Structure 1
Amino acid sequence: MALQQETEQESRELVEMSWDPITRIVGNLGIYTKIDFRNREVVECKSTSSIFRGYGVFMRGKDPRDAHFITSRICGICGDNHATCSIYAQNMAYGIKTPPLGEWIINLGEAAEFMFDHVLYQDNLVFVDYCEQIVKETNPSLLRRAETTEAPRGNVHGLRTIADIMRAFNPFTGSMYREALQMSRLTREMFCLMEGRHVHPSTLYPGGVGTVATPQLFTDYLVRLLKVLDFVKKAVPMNDDLFDFFYEALPGYEEVGRRRIMLGCWGAFQNPAVVNYDYRHMDEWGKAMFVSPGIVLDGALRTTNLVDINLGIRILLGSSYYDDWQGEETFVERDPLGNPVDKRHPWNQTTLPKPQKRDLENGNYSWVMSPRWFDDRSQQHLALDTGGGPLARLWSTALAGTVDTGTVRATGDSVEINLPKSAAFPEMQLEWKIPKWANTIERNRARIYFVAYSAAMAVYFVEQALAEVRAGRTKVFTDFEVPEEGIGCGFHEAVRGLLSHHMVIRDGKIANYHPYPPTPWNASPRDSYGTPGPYEDAVQGTQIFEENGPENFKGIDIMRTVRSFDPCLPCGVHMYLGDGQVLKRLHSPTLGTSVPG
């Protein structure tokens, strides 16, 4: 029997397919796969990036006060997340604290950014893969079933069938597609009210903000927020109807893009009553964030302690275009609590680029390094993913059970979101429940729930900010001096996932600086232990449900999986089929699977 199985493996016919480039935050993402169409399975996947950015190189020697202005240019869509995270790191290094009203203003700006980016991405990019036009091309039988399937929540969102929902997301013509563009405009205006300019803020500084806080400012924000609430109250049930339909109509679809639950969230929305940016108290003020930091391993919270999270970060190489820095200078031997800091920690990283030819078969193939989190219990370097951002944030917050603002409550196994009355809808309670899987569908479902979460938190933040103004506490900035020596780390969430900035100051200048956004975590190649990155792991082994054969294959299940992680602006996708090369499969005792011959 074993001999027969091995013979079958050797006879597998594989087709090489690639999608390159997929425009990303850091460089260009390419997805290279080998597909077994006979067994409807992606056998192998590798994630590549073809552009070197080098922020860890040219930040050295800069004035630390310029760090947030420079690093916001890392990305053209979530630059404010970088600016905010850099400011958190600077506050720690300078030993300063932002006044409460300044923190509420930053939180309002970041909430608007989450709403803006997630709505634009979910409704104008992700749902193109689920719209009527695409489903007609890839799964025509599914569309026929959708035409006769009633939408269970149609009484809320107003669409009768699942096919009607699919039509609502058709590019340029669909009702929700068009409405989402209007919401993107409103939420960007909300952002600019707080942070001055999108996407590179002009009013954020270490120690506070330059925004002039008046009742009119927050009223202008709230007027727009109420319109967003109307949109969210329709969008969430619409998303639930469509995603539930996929599970029901395509048995086994839960396996598409599924990987082991290894989620990381670094926390977001500081609590002004607790945060002081002192590293020695980081566990305390980290747990007080309005999005709870945490590492979720196999469905359980591994830790919520930001000190543990910080010390566990390791930057591995493996399949990356860099030389090792083990022989280079060590910048931070111990943290402010006396804990030893690993040589592979961002504080001690030295970026040594080594350009070379891409070798997808036996060598290095990406400019992305491989961030991992070292779990001291299992002694393993975990390839954490962000679940696209929202999945990790909601999961960690739900399990931590510490957030309770009235508008949002974490229950231990869910997150309750209470939205106030708006123009078209009464009060509404939504509940995101911890799912069974970390897969393509649940990453996408979590995104719209986090839009609702951000909207509910924004309501709370506005109330708190107005209370400060009415009480006459209008200070929004704290003076500071740059020390000659210092270290800082900022922990925040970029829209699509965990974000950290690590800075070392010497002689009043930046001696070392390393920002780690979601891209390297999600798009990392195989590391020095042979562990694939999250994109690779989620795509590799996934089943194919598309009805097309190799001749006109769209790769829709693969693209849904990659896009579920929210790669930045993934609309620039090109696909290459080549000549349909057939590869022989050989058994590999080392890998425990078969590899190309």
Structure 2
Amino acid sequence: MTPKTKAAGDGSGLVEMAWDPITRIVGSLGIHTKIDFKQKRVAECYSTSSVFRGYSVFMRGKDPRDAHFITSRICGICGDNHATCSVYAQNMAYGVKPPHLAEWIINLGESAEYMFDHNIFQENLVGVDYCEKMVRETNPGVLDLAERTPAPHAGEHGFKTIADIMRSLNPIEGEFYREALQVSRYTREMFCLMEGRHVHPSTLYPGGVGTIASVQLFTDYMSRLMRYCEFMKRVVPLHDDLFDFFYEALPGYEEVGRRRVLLGCWGALNDPEYCDFTYANMTDWGRKMFVTPGVVVDGKLVTNDLTEINLGIRILLGSSYYDDWQGQEQFVTHDPLGNPVDPRHPWNQHTIPAPQKRNFDDKYSWVMSPRWFDGKDHLALDTGGGPIARLWSTALSGLVHTDYVQATGHSVVITLPRTMTKPETRFEWKIPKWSNALERNRARTYFQAYAAAIALHCAEKGLAEVRAGRTQTWEKFEVPDEGLGVGFTEAVRGVLSHHMVIRDGKIANYHPYPPTPWNASTRDTFGTPGPYEDAVQNTPIFEENTPENFKGIDIMRAVRSFDPCLPCGVHMYVGGGKTVKTMHVPTGLSGLGG
């Protein structure tokens, strides 16, 4: 479908502009806006998805033991996150507790996935939005200033000026861009050592893993992990320099992509010394995760209780292409602790697709509107691309304490040990003033270091199990005739839950909720915009181009800061349907030239 972008036609002086599709692995993202060029501000934004997936439909009737193999295919990027979450839900439903070694291995695989995916997105995709070629096209005045601005941490990352950093991010030819591609290779190898295959694990099962654990396995992983730690000692100061510069060069840039602090994190990386996967104990073992779950509203921690988080999830239809399931069967009326479960909870959801013509005054997307109900309001939580919500929640709870990570209540302190050419290094991610584009991106960098630090802890624990002769990695189980399960973890881009109901030994209901529907949701039943929409609306325009040559870089930075899967092309239209420029570009070049 070809969007027509033109003058709004309502006498407001607004100009309609659409980027559609920004294709992604999980659907096709479209961003439709009305821009006030006189005020240099986005007046309206609508986020659309033109693809219906339907996993919740065809999972019914399947053998529950196949759930992780099937749901892994939801995504070709974070499929292992889905497999892991599904296994967690199955462990609960089957009443099985994996051996400690199995959980350390899963943690190492998932940590490697965070390192791999955040690296390739940060340097080879979102980094392009800040590269020299892009800045030259959109803000030549900023580039001129960057040429004259020394990089404060040049001694740590090796680039003398901010412009040198920008040049290093130029696609294909940039030094740092190419180096990041090499890093993505060995971090993927780290994952495969632990889970067999990337991104659809071949050794991951309910009850544990099929990985054969040995000293050599952990040695191979650690050799790559230490290379990554050395890399991160350059990456963190490099991005601090780059993002701090944008605040200085463009006063007011903190408003780009800014929205109210409404963050959700479902926690990740279980501690097997506490986690037994029972619903009855979920509050306690959830708080022992190495990424602490939490709902953060206006900078304050509302809860870090996974049971409370679970019961607060609501699926609203709002402006999405579905019929309501009101009056349909309610699968779960009470949770295993006797708490009432809402009809709009994922355990009770029915997916009834109703395709129709897109209408921004009514229905306009295949994405539903997940919300978290705090007892009064249905909150449009976002994940901030994952890392900012994870670090914010973990920092506020102050529960994570290892040799390499300390959550302080107001920050997260990360210590990376001495590596081949660099000494022990300490980083501190401090809770920022804003939830905006730059801080989402900055958090992604710090969380890469965080994932490496947690991996060091888990590798030491796993190796200790092997050396002690505790090499069992799987525990047998039986599938019950009737069962209930929920898995909580963090996909790369944020919150991930899998809710499963078993009847007669088969799946009766199954609903996976990854970060995409939370972030890309439409206006809900109450008219509340989704996070992409909210973050883009009122975003100021700092681009120096005229409307006729407008690239929309500030809008793209706002959207991409959420890490909306992997965009591979942007189409830009303006003025009465006239095509200014249409460009299909290789993955990683989104936004260049339009």
- TM-score bracket for the superposition, by shorter chain length: over 0.9
Identity within the alignment, %? 72
Note the C-alpha offset of 1:66: 0.1
Change (3 A) 1:25 1:373: farther
Query: Does residue 344 of structure 2 align to residue 371 of structure 1?
Result: no
State how far apart, in whole Å, the 2-side matches of 1:330 and 1:143 are.
Answer: 58
> Quick check: 1:313–1:345 contact (8 Å CA) kept in 2?
yes
Q: CA RMSD in A?
A: 1.1
- Compute the displacement of 1:155 (Å): 1.1
Q: Give the equivalent residue in structure 1 for 2:168.
A: 168
Q: How does 1:297-446 map to 2 (within 5 A)?
A: 297-360=297-360, 362-376=361-375, 379-446=376-443
Determine if contact 1:504/1:513 at 8 Å carries over to the other structure.
yes
Letter in 1 for 2:366: W
- Cα deviation code 1:419-438 (max 9, x no counterpart): 01111211100110000000
User: Which residue number in structure 2 is paired with residue 480 of structure 1?
Assistant: 477
Q: Report the AA paired with residue 571 of structure 2.
A: H
Residue of 504, 508, 530 corresponding to 2:505: 508
CA displacement 1:62-114 (0-9 Å, x = unmatched):
00000000000000000000000000000000001111000000000000000
Query: Structure 2: which amino acid aligns with 1:218?
Result: F
Provide Cα deviations, 1:96-141, integer angstroms capped at 9, x if missing partner: 1111000000000000000000000000000100000000000000
TM-score under structure 1 normalisation?
0.95
Q: Deviations over 1:487-526 (max 9, x none)?
A: 0000000000000000000000000000000000000010
Q: Per-residue CA shift, 1:224-267, capped at 9, x if unaligned?
A: 11111111110100000000000011000000100000000000
Residue identity matched to 1:60: R
Instruction: Give the distance between the partners of 1:525 and 1:278, measured in 2 at CA.
Output: 34
In structure 2, what is the Cα distance between the partners aligned to 1:339 and 1:70?
Answer: 30
Give the equivalent residue in structure 1 for 2:586: none
Is 1:285 the counterpart of 2:279? The answer is no
Summarize the alignment of residues 81-96 of structure 1 with structure 2, pairs less than 5 Å apart: 81-96=81-96
- Matched AA of 1:374: F
Gaps of 5+ in 2: 1-9, 579-594
SS at structure 2 position matched to 1:483: coil
SS of 1:279's equivalent?
coil
Question: Is it true that 1:522 corresponds to 2:531 in the alignment?
Answer: no
Structure 1, unpaired ranges of 5+: 1-9, 582-597
The equivalent residue for 2:154 is 154
TM-score, structure 2 length as denominator? 0.95
Q: Which amino acid aligns with 1:329?
A: E
Partner Cα separation in structure 2 for residue 25 and residue 299 of structure 1: 31
- Supply the distance in 1 between the matched residues of 2:115 and 2:68 (Cα, whole angstroms): 22
For 2:121 and 2:52, locate their aligned partners in 1 and report how far apart those are by CA, in whole Å. Answer: 25
User: How many angstroms apart in 2 are the aligned matches of 1:264 and 1:206?
Assistant: 26
- How far apart in 2 are the matches of 1:288 and 1:150? 43
Query: Could you tell me how far apart the structure 2 residues matched to 1:178 and 1:186 are?
Result: 14
Shift of 1:549: 1.2
SS in 2 for 1:448: helix
Shift of 1:11: 6.0
CA drift at 1:311? 0.2
CA contact 2:347–2:501 (8 Å) conserved in 1: yes
User: What's the CA shift string for 1:324-357, capped at 9, x where partnerless?
Assistant: 0011100000000000000000000000000101
1:564 equivalent in structure 2: 561
- Letter aligned with residue 286 of structure 2: G
Q: Secondary structure of the residue that 1:328 maps to in structure 2?
A: coil
Residue 467 (structure 1) aligns with: 464
Contact 2:388 2:439 in 1 (8 A): yes
CA contact (8 A) 2:520 2:532 kept: yes
SS of the residue corresponding to residue 128 of structure 1 reads: helix
Q: Quick check: 2:24–2:568 contact (8 Å CA) kept in 1?
A: no
Give 1:293 shift: 0.2
Q: Contact 1:523–1:535 at 8 Å: present in 2 too?
A: yes
| Counterpart amino acid of residue 539 in structure 2 | T
Cα displacement (A) at 1:25: 3.8
Amino acid at match of 1:513: Y
Aligned partners of 1:16 and 1:580 also within 8 Å: no
Task: Give the corresponding residue for 1:122.
Answer: 122
Q: Secondary structure at the match of 1:51?
A: coil
Residue identity matched to 2:221: Y
CA distance in 2 between partners of 1:577 and 1:66 (Å): 47
1:580 deviates by 7.3
Q: Which residue of 1 aligns with 2:530?
A: 533
Correspondence for 1:188: 188
Q: In structure 2, the residue corresponding to 1:573 is in which secondary structure? A: strand
| Aligned AA (1:101) | L
Matches of 1:480 and 1:116 in 2, distance apart?
32
Cα separation, 1, equivalents of 2:573 and 2:371 = 31
Letter in 1 for 2:381: L
Number of the residue aligned with 1:209? 209
Secondary structure, in 3 states, of the residue corresponding to 1:23?
A: strand
Q: What is the aligned partner in structure 1 of residue 103 from structure 2?
A: 103
Runs of 4+ in 1 over 3 A off after TM superposition: none
- Find the residue that maps to 1:280 and give its secondary structure: coil
Contact persistence 1:125–1:571 (CA under 8 A): no
- C-alpha contact 2:138 2:553 (8 A) present in aligned 1: yes
- Structure 2 residue matching 1:490: 3-state secondary structure: strand
Question: Structure 2: how far apart are the matches of 1:332 and 1:23?
Answer: 36
